[in-house]
Amino acid sequence: KMEDVPLSLRRGPRGELLAQGAEARVFATMLGGRPAVVKERFVKAYRHPDIDIRLRSSRIAQEARMLLRARQAGVCAPTVLFADVNACALYLERIDGPTAKCFVQEHSPAEVRALGAAIGEGIALLHDAGIVHGDLTTSNMVVRGASVEQLVFIDFGLSQVTTQVKDLAVDLYVCEKALLSTHPDSDELVRLPLDG
């Protein structure tokens, strides 16, 4: 949670801290004169240092590969600008707009239905390409410019390639449970992506 992050870390040399998860922090930054974000995987003190650096580096490389694969499949996902595996940092295009979670809370039922359909279409593209996202929540989708036609899937840190139908089914199950818990009053938001 952001409130658990010490104030000294909320604004670092990279810029404003935008988000923090269990494995990484995301900061606003500039790269080559363009707005960007940098996702930095931080050290886990409980792991042996050699294992820790290998895990963090390989996960940054894996996430970059998965983002590229998703984009090649036609999924709206951030452009990878630079992957620094030595620093365990991934520089990405900055996507401006509300998360799908915020969009649902602030828009009409018709707009939420359109969002649900867009979520379903994006998941179908991912799964048709054999990509399991691994964390399909409305917090990991950004509505670029508040237009559901530009729904951007983010945070591919848990993604993987699969040929197993059961892996895709688990991805949908996680998505359904996340939608039900976050948006209990939005039946169509839950139904539409799963129908897609």
Dihedral sign (CA 120, 126, 132, 136)? negative
Contacts of 13 (CB under 8 A, 6+ apart): none
**E strands present in 131-184:** 131-132, 141-143, 151-153, 160-161
Tokens read off for 183: 């948006």
- Annotated catalytic residue 135: yes
Q: Is residue 70 within 8 Å of residue 78, measured between CB atoms?
A: no
Out of 84, 96, 128, 135, pick the active-site residue: 135
- Rounded-to-10 torsion of CA 155, 158, 161, 166: -120
Tokens read off for 50: 């050699």
Q: Is residue 188 within 8 Å of residue 110, measured between CB atoms?
A: no
Q: Is residue 63 within 8 Å of residue 154, measured between CB atoms?
A: no
Q: Is residue 24 within 8 Å of residue 42, measured between CB atoms?
A: yes
Mind telling me the catalytic residues?
135
